[in-house]
Amino acid sequence: MQTRSLAPLSLLPKSVVGLGKEILRHVLRRPVVGLAVVAEQEDGRVVLIRRGDTGTWALPGGTVEWGETLVSTFHRELLEEAGIERATMGTLVGVYSRPDRDPRFHAVTVVVRAKVDAPSRPPLNGLEIREVKAFGAGELPADLAMGMGDFLRAGLRGDAPEVE
């Protein structure tokens, strides 16, 4: 006897379900939880991504998906955005919640340090991420997208975690 799931969402394509979740986030007007990573390679260079929407550099990361932990988000986002297959999560840099950081929505962003291998493949979505590059200390861009310059500077300082 074959059983069929009665859950109506399971019948919809994943892209439709994802779009519906994104719309609900905005409709419910609750902050979105995100993760950003100060991704440092063994040689001390920091891996950044160039965003497709603004053309500016940013830390790799993104929103926590339904059913994910911060640790699974960490690995998924590094792989999707930066092509990093091996990474070890380090210490907490801070939790940032100022509503004006991201013009798209109010985000609460958890920022962590990480030791990462060099990217081994291109980003999964070439429209979202234009480029991935490792920067030495003297080469880092002055301004990062969405106020992430604060995140990066705090991560490189290595001070106690900040809470905003």
Question: How far apart, in Å, are the Cα atoms of 138 and each of 10, 15, 46, 134?
Answer: 49, 41, 11, 12
State pTM to two decimals. 0.82
Q: According to the CATH classification, is domain 31-163 in 3.90.79.10?
A: yes
- pLDDT by residue for the chain (164 residues), tens digit each? 454 444 555 676 777 777 777 777 667 678 889 999 999 999 999 999 999 988 999 999 999 999 999 999 999 999 999 999 999 999 999 999 998 888 878 889 999 999 999 999 999 988 889 999 999 999 999 889 988 999 999 999 999 999 99
Is 85 part of the annotated catalytic residue set? no
From the candidates 131, 139, 162, 164, which is the catalytic residue? 131
Element (H, E) at 118: none
